[in-house]
Amino acid sequence: MSQSTNLTPRAYGRTAAAIPEVSFDPVASVSLAALLRIIRRHLWQIGLVTCGALICAVIALHYIPPRFKAEAVLQVSPPQSPIPSDSPSEQRTTIDDLTVNSEIDAILAMPVLDAVINQLHLDRDPEFNPILAATMPSKLWPPIAASIAFVRDIETRIRSLLSPNSESPSDIEHRLVEQKLRKALSVSVKARSRNIIVEATSESPEKSAAIANAMAKDFLQDRLKIKLAHMDEITAWLNNRLGQLRGKMTQSEENVQNLRTSLGQYQGMTTTLLSEQLSQIARQLIDAQAEQSVAQAKYEQIQRLGKSDEEIGAADSVLASPLIRSLREQKTQLVAQRGEELSRLGPKNPDVISVNSQIAQVDHAITAEIGRISKNAADQLKVLNSRVAALTQSKHDLEKRIDVQNAGLVNVEQLQRDADTDRETYAAFAIYHDKIAGLNSILQPEAELLSGATTPISPFYPRQMLTLAGVGLSTLFLSIIFVLLRERLDQRFHSSQDVDAVLGLPTLALVPRIPGGLTSGSLPSLASRSSIAEAVRYLYAELDHGLQVKLPLKVLISSSLQGEGKSTTSGMLAREAATNGRKTLLINLDIRRTPPRESSSGTATGQVQTLQHVEQLFKPSFDVESGTGLTRLSFQTALHEPFKLLYTQHFWRELSEITASYEVVVIDSPPILSVPDAKIIAAFADKTIFLVKWGSTKRHMASEGLRHFQTIDAEICGVVLTHVDAKRYASYGGDYVATRGLYRAA
C-alpha cells in the first residue's frame, strides 16, 4: 500500500513557472472617469434615495406650523461707578465685549422672564404652556401628533423616575412656561457694537412683537431697580464698614509687629539650599527604587520558575547570558552527533561514550553558570535594598529640618499684605464716605431702548425652498459618498483589470451568465454566434498554440470555491474542441461526488477500507456524445474515502494510458480551497485554467486558491471570469461591451 500511494501524479505532468506575486492597493487613487462610472452605475439608487428624502421633507414641511420673529434693539451705555469721583473722566468707565455679554445674561434672567409671563399672561397660552397644550387638539397629522405625545409622555415619566421633584404642580407649570419662553428668545450682540438684539419667536406675528418689546422694557426696569437697591446697600454698608476697618487695621499692624518680633532671629533665612538637597536625594531615591524594582523582578522570576536547572534556565537573565547560549548550542550539536553515531555504531561504542561524557561536562557547566547568575541577582537585590533605605531616611530628615525652619515664617508676608490692604481700604472709604450721599437721585439704567419691535409680515421658519434644496443636496451627497465607499470596500472581481491587478494573470475569456433553465448539456442548442459561444471560442483560442506543441494537451479547469462554473465551463470547452475536429476527452475527477460502486464481492462502498487491490476498487465509465464525438470519462470507486484513489500509482498510470489516444483532455476538478484533490490533479495536467465568478468571488479567496497552485508549480494559463453580466461589466469599464448579444472590442 505504501508503494502505491507514495507516487504523486507529478511524474506524469510538467513543471511550470511560479505564479508571480502581485500586490494590490485597495485605496489607490481613482480617476475622475472611474468615479463618474461608479455614480452612473448606481444612479437609479441615488435618485431613488434622493426623491424619497425630498418627499419626506415635503410632507414634514406641510405639517410644520409657521413661526414669526420680531426683534427689539437695546443700546448698552458705559457703566457708572458706584463711588463718585472728582474727575469727570473717571466718573464713567469704558465699555467692552465682556460688559455687553454680561447684559445678555441679565436679559434672560428669571425676574425678567417672570415679569413678561405675568404681563402677557403666557401661562394661559397653549403655545408656551405644555400642560395646557396637551389638552388642546393638535394641528399635526394625527399619527405624527400621537407619536410626539407618546414620546413626550415617556420622557416625562423617565425624568420623574430619575429626578423626583417635590415642587407643587403650579410651580412645575410655571417653570415649564419659563423654559418654553427661554427657547423662544434669542439675544445677541451686533458685531463690534454696543447694540443688543432681542428676538422673540412665536406662531403669531403680533405675539412675537409683544414679547420682544416686553422683554426689553422689563429688562430696563429690572436693571434700574437692582441698581437702586445696590446703592442703598452700599450706603448702609459704608457707614458700618469704616468703624470695622479702623479696628481691623490697628489689630493687623499689631499682629505683624508681634510675629516679626518673636521670629526676629529667622528673618532673611532661605531654604534654597535645603530644598536643592531634598530634590537631589528625591531623584537619587527614584533611580534607586527603579533599579530595586528591576532587580526584584529578576530575582522573583528566578525564584518562581522553580529549583530545577532547566526551569531556572528559562529566566530572561539566564537566556541573556552569552555563555549559556554558547553551551546550549554546543550541547545541541553534541546531542545531534550522539544520535547519528548511536544509530550507526551502537551505545557501547567508544565514540558514543565520549560524546556522552562531553554532554555531561556541558550540563555541569550550564548548571554552574545558572547558579552564579542566581547568586548575583540575590546579592544585587540586597545592595539596592540597603541603598533605598538609606536614601529614604535622609529624605525624611531633610523634610523635618525644612518644616522646622519654615514653621514660624509662613504667615508673615500674608499678615503684612493684609495690614497694608486694611490701611488703604480705610483711607479710601474715609475719602469717599461723604460723597455717596445724594447719588441715588441721579442714577440711570445702563441701557436704553433704541428700537422697538414691529409686527413681522412673513414667517422666517420654515424656509421651504431652502430646506428642500438642503435636504436634496445633502441626501445626494451622502448617497454618492455611500456608493463610493461601498465600491471601494467591494473585494469582488468586476473586470479584467481587477484580475490583472490582484492576481497578476491575464483574463482568457468572459463567460456570460447562462440563461435560466439551460445547462451545459443543452448549450449546443444555442446560436453559434451567441455571447456564450463566442466566449468559449476565446478560451479555446488560448489553447490552440498548446495543441501544436504537445499532444495530448491536458487542461485542468479549477477554481477557489464551489459554484463558480467549473463543470459548465469544462463541458463547453471540451465540446468546442470536439466540434473543431479534435479528439477530446472530458474527465470528471470530482470523485467525492460520484455515486458509490458495489465491489466485486458485493460489499457496500462504506465497507471497503484498503488499497491492496487498487485495480479492483475503481471502474472507468465512458460516454460518447452523439453529434460532436466528445468522450466523457468518470470513475466509480468502492473506497470508503474516494479521494485516496488519487494517491495511487495505478490510477494515474491507467489514466495516462487512457488519455494517450486523445488530442485534448479537459479535466473537471473540485475547488482548490474545499479539498486538496485539485492540487494533486494539477500536477497531472499540462495547463490549468482558473475560474473566478464575476461579481461574487472575493479577492483574497482567489489569491489563496492560486497560492495553493503555486506551491506545486502548476502552470496557470490565465483566468476565466464566469457568470458575467454583460451590461454591468461594461459599466465597470471592462475591455468588452455587450452589443446585440455579442462580445466585441470596445
pLDDT in tens, 576-594: 888 888 888 998 888 776 6
Q: Tell me the pairing of strands 195-202 and 68-76.
A: antiparallel
Residue 455 CA to residue 453 CA, distance in Å, equals 7
Structure-block grid coordinates of residue 555: 487542461
Burial class (CB in 10 A: 0-12, 13-18, 19+), 270: exposed
SS3 label, residue 71: strand
Residue-level pLDDT at 605: 44
Structure-block grid coordinates of residue 205: 406675528
Residue-level pLDDT at 224: 81
Burial class (CB in 10 A: 0-12, 13-18, 19+), 493: buried
Domain ranges of the chain: 6-18+504-735, 272-412
Residue-level pLDDT at 17: 39
Structure-block grid coordinates of residue 89: 473722566
Q: Give ∠ CA 151-153-154 in degrees, rounded to 5.
A: 65
Identity (one letter) of the amino acid at 172? Answer: I
Identity (one letter) of the amino acid at 595? Answer: P
Find the helix or strand (DSSP H, E) in which 666 lies: strand 664-668
Residue 184 CA to residue 214 CA, distance in Å, equals 14
Residue-level pLDDT at 287: 84
Structure-block grid coordinates of residue 59: 410632507
Tell me the torsion sign for CA atoms 370, 373, 379, 382. negative
- Please tell me whether the overall predicted TM-score, pTM, comes out greater than 0.75 for this model: no
Q: Does domain 6-18+504-735 have CATH number 3.40.630.30?
A: no
Residue 682 CA to residue 676 CA, distance in Å, equals 10
Residue-level pLDDT at 603: 43
Residue 683 CA to residue 39 CA, distance in Å, equals 45
SS3 content of the chain, % helix, strand, coil (to 5): 60, 15, 25
Integer-rounded Cα radius of gyration of the chain: 48
Residue-level pLDDT at 136: 58
Average pLDDT of each block of 10 consecutive residues along the chain (746 residues)? 38 40 46 80 87 88 83 80 54 62 84 90 85 65 68 71 64 85 89 85 90 90 81 79 82 76 50 69 83 78 58 54 77 81 76 80 78 76 82 80 62 76 82 68 72 86 85 91 84 83 86 64 50 81 70 87 86 88 87 60 44 61 84 80 78 87 89 85 88 88 88 86 83 51 36
Residue-level pLDDT at 624: 86
Q: Which residues contact 65 (CB under 8 A, 6 or more apart)?
A: 139, 203
Tell me the torsion sign for CA atoms 90, 95, 100, 102. negative
Q: For 113-123, what is each residue's pLDDT tens digit?
A: 899 999 998 88
Determine contact, residues 480/46, Cβ cutoff 8 Å: yes
Sheet strands (E) in 63-174: 68-76
Residue-level pLDDT at 20: 45
Q: DSSP character for 734? A: -
Determine contact, residues 67/456, Cβ cutoff 8 Å: no
Residue 621 CA to residue 627 CA, distance in Å, equals 19
Residue-level pLDDT at 377: 75
DSSP β-bridge partners for residue 313: none
